[in-house]
Amino acid sequence: MKAALRNYQDRMQRVLDYIDQHLDGDLDLETVSRVAAFSKFHFHRQFMATFELSLHRYVQLARMKRASHQLAQCGADSVTDIAMDAGYDPPDAFARAFRQRFGQSPSSFRKSPDWEPWLAAFGPLDIARSKLMQNTFTHDAVTIRDVPPMPVAIMEHRGDRATLGNTIQRFIAWRKAAGLSPATSPTINVFRSERTPAVAADYAMDLCVGTDQPIAPNEEGMTAGVIPGGRCAVLRVVGATNNLEPAALFLYRDWLPASGEEVRDFPIYCRRYLAFPPDAPVHDAVAELFLPLK
């Protein structure tokens, strides 16, 4: 039974990977069912039963998510080009769908993204992906590195995690204004509390971007700081990087007691790669979790 279930899940995972890698291609029922080696006459129901989303809705959300990342990156692509890439022809249909889903026009989102409705809109997509994209961790996956100190600009988030989207919005706006692209300036999150503390108001995280430029006084509350150097246990997480709590629990509960190591007096933190991945499949998003050691 377990082997059969694993095989079934692997075939469904193959479908998600294919969709991620072919968002510009033909993702109709016949094509996608063939990737999974399932009958096209039943696959739409199988997909819905597994992910609680229709195949059409899943593809639509995945394309819209990529489009929103492309807009937020403020790259060279025009809104019309992004709309066409998302499968909307004519482009004004994209503008209507975008405004309906996020409460902003594409042009307004490009200038100043409102991340709270964005997070809510893609909740069904994230839930669908989490049904199969469960990372398992092994001791061999953990490496120990000597990490140099990194100067950073820091925006502190303190308070209910439900309001984190607002802090992220302000962080991205400041980062854009400072010209610090994720492609060239590392994104660091320092976790100063559990993901779900007993008291919601106790949630605390620092949003950081690597830079050694002076931080002028600003209304956003950005300050200069340093991620200290030293030995760190590093665990790489690929794909499901929205929730790193399972990876952190593995480091603390399983790896640390067996390693004989002791932790240093600095919180666990992560470095994100392709955090805004318009040019890469979602499943290629990567985070490295750093546990500081003595």
List, for residues 195-220, the tens digit of each pLDDT value. Answer: 888 898 999 999 999 999 999 888 88
Q: How many domains does the chain have?
A: 2
Provide the CATH number for the domain around residue 84.
1.10.10.60
Query: Is the pLDDT assigned to residue 159 strictly greater than 90?
Result: yes
Closest CA relative to residue 247, chosen from 234, 264, 257, 259 = 234
The mean pLDDT value for 252-280 works out to: 81
What does the DSSP assignment read for 3-57? HHHHHHHHHHHHHHHHHHHTTTS---HHHHHHHHT--HHHHHHHHHHHHSS-HHH
The residue out of 105, 130, 155 marking a domain boundary is 130
**125 plus 166 within the same structural domain:** no
pLDDT of 251 above 90: yes
Final residue belonging to a domain, choices 108, 130, 152: 130
Segment (H or E) for 143: strand 142-147
Average pLDDT over residues 73-90: 80
Same domain for 287 and 145, yes or no, is yes
pLDDT for the residue numbered 275: 43
- Asked if the model's pLDDT at residue 147 lies above 50, the reply is yes
Whether residue 126 sits in one domain with residue 153: no
What tokens appear for 181 in the block?
Answer: 């692209």
In terms of average pLDDT, the best of 48-62, 121-135, 256-270 is 256-270
Domain CATH code at residue 282: 3.20.80.10
Label residue 126 by pLDDT band (50, 70, 90).
confident
The reply to whether 143 and 285 lie within a common domain is yes
Q: What is the mean pLDDT of residues 74-98?
A: 83
In angstroms, the CA 174 to CA 275 distance is 16
State pLDDT tens for residues 7-25.
888 888 889 889 988 998 8
pTM above 0.85, yes or no: no
124 and 160, same structural domain? Answer: no
| Structural domain span for residue 74 | 2-130
H or E element, residue 156: strand 150-158
